[in-house]
Structure 1
């Protein structure tokens, strides 16, 4: 099997990955799948091995030897990933492999990979103005677009600053979401469970769940604080309190604006956030399109 491999890079959901092509077709390695989906190393490889009989070689995946890579493009795939054979997944193979990835992150990554990686876009050069008047109109349009982009960037920065000012260290995800207008806070932990942010360490289904932070988001979105619970006549035990980090608050806020958090049936449709202000008073801050840091206090 002969071909040429190249490796410029592209950003997929904040992860920088190389663009790997073989015989003019874009492909991904199993290690790349683990990286963009933020899965433990070897997850994609295990899924592939368990379902290998379902994949069609040359259609869903390609087997490329390290010798072929060395001859054609030695820098395309890092040496650490080149063992005897390298498995390269095509778009169909990738989509088959990640069918078991059903969390919100997986859906977003799949969309970005399909649209921003596997789909090649032809570069269309803008047409040149044919007259002085056309050149003036083009210059005016470009200036208007630049001004609009500057305003949008400023509003985005204000939203981020506002959220950082509203964030309270040590809050649980439920406490944070209590200040998001309309969120059904009784379902927040269930949503985090579906997202794979937390897991239930309690094996007895008759007992209340004991939520712990999943390793893939630990110290990134969430952390946990252990405390000892003691009661007379009972053995003491350790309870782990979930604690939201700033990046986790920002991510939950994004989910909120994308309407991906569980909402109350009587929600008024307004994306606003309540914050505590001086003397115990409560202020409400816009979180949606008009969230330029304005306080309605």
Structure 2
């Protein structure tokens, strides 16, 4: 029997690990992404070049499969007649959600990312992780004093958050694109902003011709939450074509600003290391 289950929406995920990596089954992805198991299997077969065994998934056969079946917590997960089993890593589950590309798939992976893949069970003795022993009066008193400091720090962080909100109100204008917003942030390499958003699955390039410039579109996951888009006809050296202006929403601006403060955005080589900003003149 399973010793622990994690519930996401109405789906109960048994905790499975292989080679000390937390993984999920094809059945779990199918249920969470609103797809069939055959659809998930077909996606893997049709996009084989995008998935690397040992990084995005594990394919268990023969002795490895028997070893997996013998783990007490895994009993019942795999039919005794199954000759192979696919186990998906966090990276593989993320890539599959991108291929399925529905709001349901994006939402389920986002919840699974925080509630399943990034959660680890505590050992029986928490002190092995450096946690305080509250049965010891002296250690308990020290722990409470440190907690008081954390509460004070939280108050400072709340003030910082209020300051950030004020900054966003001053920086974000209606109709502003992510590039225009980031142009106000000191040191950001604005030529790399859309590529960064593509790497985080907020945007995708709809232009299939590698010799033509990007045509950015908003992914289903982020549409009308972080970003939106408005179509227009552009005239280029290749003639007229359909393009889209990417428009930043408040939630998207907040997320971008947080990435900036965490030094996650692509920065210029000559950046002076200071996180400052200035008011943008106008929206084109």
Q: Structure 1-normalised TM-score?
A: 0.58
- Match for residue 260 of structure 1 among 259, 264, 271: 264
Q: Deviations over 1:178-215 (max 9, x none)?
A: 01111111222233333333233334444433222222
Q: Given that residues 40 and 216 in structure 1 are in contact (C-alpha distance below 8 angstroms), is that contact kept between their aligned partners in structure 2?
A: no
1:200 and 1:135 map into 2 onto residues whose CA distance is: 55
2:197 and 2:278 map into 1 onto residues whose CA distance is: 21
2:139 and 2:23 map into 1 onto residues whose CA distance is: 43
What pairs up with 1:27-46 in 2 under 5 angstroms? 28-30=24-26, 41=35, 45-46=41-42
- Tell me what 1:72 maps to: none
**CA separation of 1:268 and 1:185: change in aligned 2, threshold 3 A:** same
* Alignment RMSD: 4.8
2:232 and 2:173 map into 1 onto residues whose CA distance is: 20
Q: Does 1:122 align with 2:127?
A: no
Question: How many residues in Structure 1 have an aligned counterpart in Structure 2?
Answer: 238
What pairs up with 1:140-289 in 2 under 5 angstroms? 140-228=145-233, 238-276=242-280
Which blocks of at least 5 consecutive residues in structure 1 are unaligned?
63-67, 70-84, 282-297
Which blocks of at least 5 consecutive residues in structure 2 are unaligned?
70-75, 99-105
Q: Given that residues 171 and 184 in structure 2 are in contact (C-alpha distance below 8 angstroms), is that contact kept between their aligned partners in structure 1?
A: no
Query: C-alpha displacement at 1:248, in angstroms?
Result: 1.7
Secondary structure of the structure 2 residue equivalent to 1:55: strand
Q: Deviations over 1:224-272 (max 9, x none)?
A: 11235689xx987543211111222222223323333222121101111
- Match for residue 14 of structure 2 among 9, 20, 25: 20
Q: Given that residues 170 and 279 in structure 2 are in contact (C-alpha distance below 8 angstroms), is that contact kept between their aligned partners in structure 1?
A: no
Q: Structure 2-normalised TM-score?
A: 0.60
